[in-house]
């Protein structure tokens, strides 16, 4: 064993509700204090609906600032939330000097009643009644009797409520609505609209009913149905009013909405009243939002501005796919309300002035964490129907007509994003993993690409393209999905925002060529120089209600022009003297160019760089370091070698740097210093030599809606290698799932998923197999099977590197071990060296006294008599066979020899010693190791 001295310091739900009801308010105060800075919980009794004798009880909370009277803010919560979920935001607004009223909407929290999705006669009327109540409070500043100075704000469901209240109550003085919709029918059934009947031969195109966004609709409606209602009824409609759930149910089954449902959803949307909003409005829309995209903010902005009302729009890096609204968006809403409502002393709001349009684009990075850059344009360009419109660039697409199939049952389906989680393929693409694995099944996707861009292009809004589609579907009907990828020179696909455009086409009969103009999802994204754009048209998408019958489509470019919107914008910076900035900028650009040239050259060298002397060595790690932007060094000078036929165990406590090392080995992140070579080739993201490596690191990446066998087949297809090379039979034998391999993975236990993931890593029998905690979730018999699999795999001439916390298994499975702590290798060697270098050996003999005498006078060992027939021997460097030979030669019968030291004991001793050395070093230097997770 070679010990080493330490060498240094080491969403989403649907978001936002609304609500309370119309009629008279009977108030019962349950709170205690009316002092400034306090809160009061109140119960508000409101009429259930116009003409009804029933009441709904609304649970509300009043947050008072330290100085009153003050302007008020009505704050609405998210779908599934309550007044309690708004406490932190309400307290911040109260600290800014506002009287804040939060409440649990009818059907949520402790409030009674049923959910009617922002019904103008129920939830919207409730909010108007709350404004009545605020107008009577002495703590609230009033512009006139019964007219409080009040702003309304909320996100998603609550954002829509805020806009609808402002459109029906002229007393509202300011509106800040976040990540919300304009027309709920269009949001859930995108691309519905004209023509509402099947197109004629002269004018084919989109069919009327749109395509159900099944994933999000299921979450939206399922959240209210599955929870029962506030009265304890757990019937089929749960908390929803029967009118809502019974109108939605047929559309959920068929994927096609009725006219009645679309009319209902529109009447419960800002689209029905936005042109009547007179209060200055701020719209905050998330750039990672496949539920309510940027086009919904455009529609709201156009309607509000058409009435002559000042409207501001900000796009921010958040949304339903990124945790909802953000601290930054809430702070922007608070600033806007402060500007528009004035101070607690009653100072007037500033005069309306043109305001810039602010948005963000992803910054540069290598997949280790996404940064964003804020950009500012002189004004918001989305106030025209071609949102956002100026200027528009024409890029040329190329690609022949392509035939694609929709399989029976629409499975496997393309995956662009997962509702509430976001664009999984996006994240994989940023990390350097081929997104074909999870995005677009082979045979189901037509692709058309531009040439590499000669300079960077910032896409800001909705791109358009003209296609022609011929389908074999009955009556010429079909559904397709279009998306626009950013593709790097290395072939990594990135889908900005994770959104797709769902297209329902219709013709008179099968075989008809149908021209269509496709509006792609609005995005804010910068395409780097040298990257190209790729239009992908797929026949399936798991987030939508795709028809289940098989069909074939031929997709071609009706026009090769891809129209891409962009706005003239600048990076947002603080005001500084211009001259120093110009000088600094020139220097920075020059340095950046030199660094860029160096990086490009080094990456090109890395692709072809190979060391012939290491061609037969599976893995060599030299001087490896990884330092993150916050200064934390996760890996600090790691060196080790894995030889052919070895099962190498990579050990270390949590935070030792094992997974970071494995991710660098996979090419997922780039080392700060040092290098990794696989069979002599330097590892870089996308390096060809990685095809000789199979891995299972940080999750299996299995698709839950596919069967086990389909997952294996799809994974192998994505590699582009011949099917015969997959060695599928051996992989299935390894998985040992029996008939379960034909079941969907979502039904698998954790152990079954682990076994299938191992089989996936072994497809093609790679020369080097890298596994991170492969025995998680396995029972003892399965662990034993896994042990045999790994040992036999290495005996076949291949190599295994395995990271595990089960040290007993490592001891039985591995031939060699590397131990890491605080980012450094503290020991390495064979398992035999580890377990024999320290500790004692138990020896059972017929006469312990005689044995002790013989060994003490013959060999350089230490002997301790345990009892009459057992001694414990510290052998040091002495071979146990020599000890046995001496005892037997002296006439002492040896019955058993057993080592008492296990790998676990040695590991704990090494880590303990390393921790103390690091602590002593830190104390001597007056510094402390930073241990935060990057």
First to last CA, the chain: 32
Q: What is the mean pLDDT of residues 62-84?
A: 91
158: buried, middle or exposed (CB in 10 Å: 19+, 13-18, 0-12)? buried
Higher-confidence position of 835 and 693: 693
Greater confidence, 780 or 489? Answer: 489
Confidence tier at 623 by pLDDT (50, 70, 90)? very high
Tell me: the pLDDT tens digits for 153-199? 999 999 999 999 999 999 999 999 999 999 998 889 887 643 333 33
Instruction: Give the DSSP H/E element, type plus range, for residue 168.
Output: helix 157-168
pLDDT in tens, 706-762: 888 988 888 888 777 788 788 888 878 777 778 888 888 888 887 788 888 888 888
- Least trusted range by pLDDT, from 74-78, 426-430, 787-791: 426-430
In the predicted model, is pLDDT for residue 19 greater than 50? Answer: no
What are the distances in angstroms from CA 500 to CA 123, 366, 518?
Answer: 32, 24, 11
What's the pLDDT band for 363 if we cut at 50, 70, 90? low
As a whole number, mean pLDDT of residues 431-445 equals: 61
Burial 652-669 (b: 16+ CB within 10 A, else e): bbebbbbbbbbbbbbbbb
Residue 902 pLDDT? 63
Percentage of the chain exceeding pLDDT 90: 28
DSSP classification of residue 320: G
Q: How far apart (Å, rounded) are the C-alpha atoms in residues 806 and 803?
A: 9
CA–CA dist 554, 760 (Å, integer): 33
Q: Is the pLDDT of residue 124 over 90?
A: yes
Is the pLDDT higher at 31 or at 371?
371
Least confident of 266-270, 578-582, 660-664, 722-726: 578-582
**What pLDDT does 59 receive?**
94
Indicate the pLDDT class of residue 491, thresholds 50, 70 and 90.
Answer: confident
Better pLDDT: 517 or 367:
517
- What pLDDT does residue 686 have? 75
Mean pLDDT of all residues in the chain? 78
Element (H, E) at 501: strand 501-506
pLDDT at position 230 over 60: no
- 119-128, 386-395, 411-420, 431-440: lowest mean pLDDT where? 431-440
Task: Give 78's strand partners.
Answer: 16
% of the chain exceeding 70 in pLDDT: 77
- Residue 922 φ/ψ region, left for φ over 0, alpha for ψ in the -120 to 50 degree band, beta for the rest: alpha
Residue 838 has pLDDT above 90, yes or no: no
Beta strand 799-803 with 647-651 is: parallel
Q: Output the CA torsion sign for 599, 600, 603, 604.
A: negative
Per-residue pLDDT tens over the stretch 87-120: 989 999 999 999 999 999 998 889 999 999 899 9
Give me the pLDDT at residue 605, please.
45
Can you tell me which residue has the tokens 């002492």?
Answer: 892
Average pLDDT (861-870) is 86
User: pLDDT tier at 803 (50, 70, 90 boundaries)?
Assistant: confident
Beta bridge partners of 738: none
Determine the 3-state secondary structure of 139 from DSSP. coil
Asked whether residue 388 carries a pLDDT value surpassing 50, the answer given is: no
The residues near 715 (Cβ < 8 Å, ≥ 6 apart) are 437, 760, 763
């Amino acid at each position: 064993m070679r010990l080493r001295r330490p060498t240094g310091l080491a969403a989403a739900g649907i978001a936002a509700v609304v609500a309370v009801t119309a009629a008279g308010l009977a108030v019962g105060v349950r709170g205690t204090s009316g002092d400034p800075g306090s809160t009061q919980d109140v119960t508000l009794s409101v009429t259930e609906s116009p003409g009804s004798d029933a009441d709904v009880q609304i649970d509300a909370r009043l947050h008072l600032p330290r100085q009153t009277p003050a302007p008020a803010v009505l704050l609405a919560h998210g779908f599934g939330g309550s007044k309690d979920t708004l406490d932190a935001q309400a307290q911040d607004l109260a600290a800014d000097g506002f009287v804040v009223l939060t409440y649990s909407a009818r059907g949520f929290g402790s409030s009674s009643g049923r959910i009617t999705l922002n019904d103008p006669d129920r939830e919207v009327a409730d909010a108007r009644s709350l404004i009545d109540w605020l107008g009577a409070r002495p703590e609230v500043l009033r512009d006139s009797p019964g007219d409080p100075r009040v702003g309304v704000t909320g996100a998603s469901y609550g954002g829509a409520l805020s806009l609808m209240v402002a459109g029906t109550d002229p007393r509202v003085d300011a509106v800040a609505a976040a990540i919300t919709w304009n027309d709920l029918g269009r949001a859930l059934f995108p691309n519905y609209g004209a023509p509402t009947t099947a197109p004629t031969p002269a004018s084919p195109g989109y069919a009327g009913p749109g395509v159900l966004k099944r994933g999000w609709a299921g979450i939206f409606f399922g959240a209210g149905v599955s929870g029962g209602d506030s009265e304890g009824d757990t019937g089929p409609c749960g908390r929803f009013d029967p009118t809502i759930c019974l109108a939605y149910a047929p559309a959920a089954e068929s994927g096609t909405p009725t006219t009645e449902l679309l009319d209902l959803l529109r009447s419960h949307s800002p689209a029905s009243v936005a042109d009547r909003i007179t209060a200055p409005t701020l719209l905050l829309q998330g750039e990672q939002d496949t539920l309510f995209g940027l086009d919904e903010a455009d529609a709201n902005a156009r309607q509000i501005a058409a009435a002559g009302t000042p409207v501001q729009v900000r796009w921010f890096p958040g949304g339903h796919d990124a945790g909802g609204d953000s601290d930054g968006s809430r702070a922007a809403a608070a600033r806007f309300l402060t500007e528009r409502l004035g101070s607690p002393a009653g100072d007037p709001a500033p005069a309306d002035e043109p305001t810039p349009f602010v948005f963000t684009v992803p910054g540069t990075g290598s997949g280790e964490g996404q940064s964003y850059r804020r950009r500012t344009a002189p004004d918001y360009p989305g106030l025209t129907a071609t949102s956002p419109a100026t200027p528009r660039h024409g890029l040329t697409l190329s690609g022949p007509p392509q035939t694609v199939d929709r399989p029976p049952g629409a499975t496997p389906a393309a995956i662009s994003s997962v509702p509430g989680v976001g664009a999984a393929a996006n994240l994989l693409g940023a990390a350097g993993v081929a997104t074909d694995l999870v995005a677009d099944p082979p045979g189901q996707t037509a692709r058309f690409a531009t040439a590499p861009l000669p300079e960077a292009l910032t896409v800001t809004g909705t791109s358009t393209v003209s296609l022609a589609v011929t389908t074999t579907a009955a009556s010429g009907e079909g559904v397709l999905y279009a998306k626009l990828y950013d593709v790097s020179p290395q072939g990594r696909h990135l889908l900005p925002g994770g959104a797709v455009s769902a297209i329902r086409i219709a013709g008179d009969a099968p075989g008809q060529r149908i021209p269509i103009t496709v509006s792609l999802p609005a995005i804010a994204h910068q395409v780097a120089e040298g990257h190209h754009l790729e239009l992908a048209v797929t026949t399936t998408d798991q987030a939508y209600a795709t028809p289940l019958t098989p069909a074939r489509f031929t997709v071609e470019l009706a026009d090769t022009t891809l129209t891409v919107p962009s706005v003239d914008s600048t990076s947002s910076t603080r005001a500084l003297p211009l001259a120093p900035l110009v000088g600094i900028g020139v220097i920075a650009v020059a340095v950046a160019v030199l660094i860029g040239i160096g990086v490009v050259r080094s990456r090109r060298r890395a692709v072809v760089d190979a060391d012939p002397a290491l061609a037969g060595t599976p893995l060599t790690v030299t001087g490896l370091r990884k330092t993150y932007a916050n200064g934390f060094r996760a890996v600090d000078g790691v060196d080790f070698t894995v030889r052919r036929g070895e099962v190498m165990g990579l050990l270390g406590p949590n935070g030792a740097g094992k997974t970071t090392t494995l991710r660098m080995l996979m090419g997922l992140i780039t080392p700060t210093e040092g290098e990794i070579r696989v069979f002599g080739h330097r590892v870089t993201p996308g390096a060809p030599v990685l095809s000789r490596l199979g891995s299972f690191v940080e999750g299996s990446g299995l698709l839950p809606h596919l069967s086990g066998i389909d997952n294996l087949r799809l994974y192998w297809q994505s590699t582009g290698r011949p099917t015969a090379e997959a060695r599928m039979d051996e992989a299935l034998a390894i998985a040992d799932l029996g008939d379960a391999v034909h079941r969907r993975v979502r039904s698998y236990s954790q152990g079954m998923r682990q076994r299938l993931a191992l089989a996936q890593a072994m497809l093609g029998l790679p020369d080097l197999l890298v596994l991170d905690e492969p025995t998680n979730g396995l029972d003892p018999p399965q662990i034993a099977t896994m042990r045999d699999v790994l040992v036999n795999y290495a005996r076949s001439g291949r190599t295994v590197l395995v990271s595990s916390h089960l040290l007993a298994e490592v001891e039985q499975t591995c031939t060699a071990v590397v131990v890491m702590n605080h980012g450094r290798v503290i020991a390495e060697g064979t398992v035999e060296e580890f377990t024999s270098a320290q500790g004692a050996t138990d020896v059972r003999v017929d006469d312990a006294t005689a044995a002790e005498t013989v060994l003490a006078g013959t060999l350089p060992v230490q002997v301790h008599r345990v009892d009459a027939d057992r001694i414990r021997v510290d052998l040091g460097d002495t071979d146990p066979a020599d000890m046995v030979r001496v005892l037997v030669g002296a006439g002492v019968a040896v019955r058993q020899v057993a080592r008492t030291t296990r790998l676990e004991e040695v590991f704990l001793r090494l880590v303990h010693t390393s921790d103390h050395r690091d602590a002593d070093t830190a104390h001597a230097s007056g510094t402390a190791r930073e241990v935060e997770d990057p």
